[in-house]
Structure 1
Amino acid sequence: MTEKRKKPLPISVEQSKLLGNTLRVKIIGVLLEKPKTAKQVATQIGETPGNVHYHIQKLHKGKLIDLVEEKRVGGVIEKYYEANASSFESNEPVYPELSPNFPASFKSSINAALQLKENDKEQLLEEVSELLKKWVIKSSSADYIDQEEFVIDFTLVSRKEKTEDIKKNNIKK
């Protein structure tokens, strides 16, 4: 995976709305493996090529996937797309289902407090990102088409408040 796709992609509110559609998330999952055409994606996830093409155009316009290659095959131009990231970050909620007040039929939470060195923090984020990518790819296959949908959020939060850093910097000046 390219360096660009390893890190969470900062997204806008408009881009987060595009991710509210499960089919689009599945398409991104398939396009993480290698660049593919809309027809190849449709075959892999068990959807119609026209429907997948429509959603690929939305994702491309929203800059969540890139057109990476065009090949002329006979009289047809095949367009190959690739996902820009396997995870996303936003200051706005990406999935409304993650709101504490959402009346979900199932909700589970795992919490922990950790003391981490800077490189441990980066390693943890990378490992969680890889785990989520694995599950996005797995659940993007055709055998998951009629399964219940879930959303997941991993948030790593420092217990140190931002204002402490600001106060320290003011004292040093």
Structure 2
Amino acid sequence: MIEGAVSSYEKIKSKTSLREILEVACSFEASARDFYTDLIPKVGKNMRWLVEELAAEEQQHFDLLNGLASREDIAEQIKAEVRIPTTDTRFSDAVQLPDLGAKPDDQAVLQYAMGREQIAMEHYRSLAEGTEPGPIHDLFGYLADEETKHKTELEKVYYEVVHSGGV
């Protein structure tokens, strides 16, 4: 093979279907929802509202992605092959959840949540940039914007908790 040439196998390996991407995104959002739901009784009352809100947001994202994946009017688009984003491995790995223990510390919860929002924000932005205009592109752009807002809000709460002594 010529130096610098990309083999056919590498080209195939660098792409996946939008259906597979949506399935992974649904798993990502479902695992986050379940993680936060399980975390609710473990956190202190001052953080419970935030964890409940995070669980609800992840459920909304799951519903949006799942709804898109089942739309018959875009079934052909979902079969399309797209380049796998460079963020794919980090995003897929984030389905694996940490064990924060029976009484997680507020700072650890916030750090985990901010990191997860960062990964999702980058991944959805990359997916939006790599898809054609239409419902799929719009949803990924919307989710990227939502994750950005969530991360910003979490950073504010983190600052209050860590630097100001609590919410």
Q: State whether TM-score is above 0.5.
A: no
**TM-score (ref. length: structure 1):** 0.27
Q: Which protein has the larger Cα radius of gyration, Structure 1 or Structure 2?
A: 1
**Which protein has the bigger strand share?**
1
Structure 1 or 2: larger helix share? 2
Higher RCO (CA 8 Å, separation ≥ 6 residues) = 1
Q: Which TM-score applies when normalising by structure 2?
A: 0.27
